[in-house]
Amino acid sequence: MSVQEYLDKHMLSRKIEDAVNAAVRAKTPDPVLFISSHMKKAVPSVITKVKARQILDSRGIPTVEVDLFTNKGMFRASVPSGDSTGMYEAVELRDGDKGTYLGNAVTKAVKNINEKISEALVGMDPTVQLQIDQAMIDLDKTEKKSELGANAILAVSIAACKAGAAEKEDITILPTGASRFDEALQMGSETYHHLKAVIAEKYGTNGCNVGEDGGFTPNISSVREGLDIVKEAIGRTGYNDRIKIGMDVAATDFCIGTKYDLEFKSPNKSGQNFKSGEDMIQMYKELCSEYPIASIEDPFDKEDWEHSKRFCSLGLCQVVGDDLLMSNPKRMERAMHDSACNCLLLKVGSDKSDWNSDRSY
Which 3 state secondary structure label does DSSP give 236?
helix
Per-residue pLDDT of the chain in tens (361 residues, 90 and over written 9): 788 888 777 777 777 887 788 778 777 777 887 777 667 666 677 899 999 999 998 788 999 999 999 877 788 988 876 554 444 456 889 999 999 999 999 999 999 999 999 999 999 988 888 899 999 999 988 888 889 999 999 999 989 988 887 666 587 888 889 999 999 999 999 998 999 999 888 888 777 776 655 677 777 778 888 899 999 999 999 998 899 999 989 898 888 888 898 877 665 665 667 889 999 999 999 999 999 999 999 999 999 999 999 999 999 999 999 889 887 889 999 999 999 999 988 755 434 333 334 444 4
Cβ neighbours for 44, distance < 8 A, ≥ 6 positions apart: 125, 267
Annotated catalytic residue 40: no
Domain that holds residue 148: 47-165
Q: Report yes or no on 26 lying in a domain.
A: yes
Does residue 279 share a domain with residue 189?
A: yes
40, 213, 285, 352: the active-site residue: 213
Instruction: Mark whether 160 and 213 lie in a shared domain.
Output: no
Contact 345, 359 (CB under 8 A): yes
Same domain, 315 and 225: yes
Our answer to whether residue 261 is catalytic in this structure is no
Model-level pTM?
0.57
In angstroms, rounded to a whole number, what is the distance separating the alpha carbons of residues 42 and 19?
9
CATH of the domain at 68: 3.30.390.10
One domain, residues 99 and 172: no
Q: Which of 27, 40, 285, 347 is labelled catalytic?
A: 347
Q: Which residues, at least 6 apart from 52, have a Cβ–Cβ distance to it below 8 Å?
A: 64, 65, 66, 67, 109, 110, 113, 114, 152, 155, 156
